[in-house]
């Protein structure tokens, strides 16, 4: 997998921040990230917790060690 350019990183962050994801609206973020990961042949799946609320699980590589990352997909833009 190649590294993202600085411009690509900024674009991804802008896209994510633009998604209204607070108060149980993470599914759109999970869908955005799934499409992004697909471009790099990284398998992921969305696990629905409740309507508009989802977790994203992505896997790449195989073997040991296994690394897990847990983060929040809900962000609030304050102007």
For 7-46, how does the pLDDT look when each residue is reduced to its tens digit (9 = 90+)? Answer: 999 999 999 989 988 878 899 999 999 999 999 898 999 9
Answer left, alpha or beta for residue 67, where phi above 0 means left and psi between -120 and 50 means alpha: beta
Tokens of 64: 């040991």
Tens digit of pLDDT for each residue in 52-71?
899 999 988 888 887 777 77
Q: pTM, whole model, 2 decimals?
A: 0.83
3-state secondary structure of 71: coil
From 59, 65, 76, 78, select the one nearest 20 (Cα to Cα): 76
Of the CA atoms within 13 Å of residue 57, those in its CB half-sphere come to 4
Answer left, alpha or beta for residue 50, where phi above 0 means left and psi between -120 and 50 means alpha: beta
């Amino acid at each position: 997998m190649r590294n993202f350019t600085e411009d690509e990183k900024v674009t991804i962050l802008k896209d994510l921040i633009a998604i209204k994801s607070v108060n149980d609206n993470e599914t759109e973020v999970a869908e955005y990230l799934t499409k992004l990961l697909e471009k790099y042949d990284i398998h992921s799946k969305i696990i629905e917790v409740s309507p508009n609320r989802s977790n994203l699980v992505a896997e790449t590589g195989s073997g040991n060690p296994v690394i897990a990352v847990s983060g929040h997909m809900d962000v609030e833009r304050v102007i």
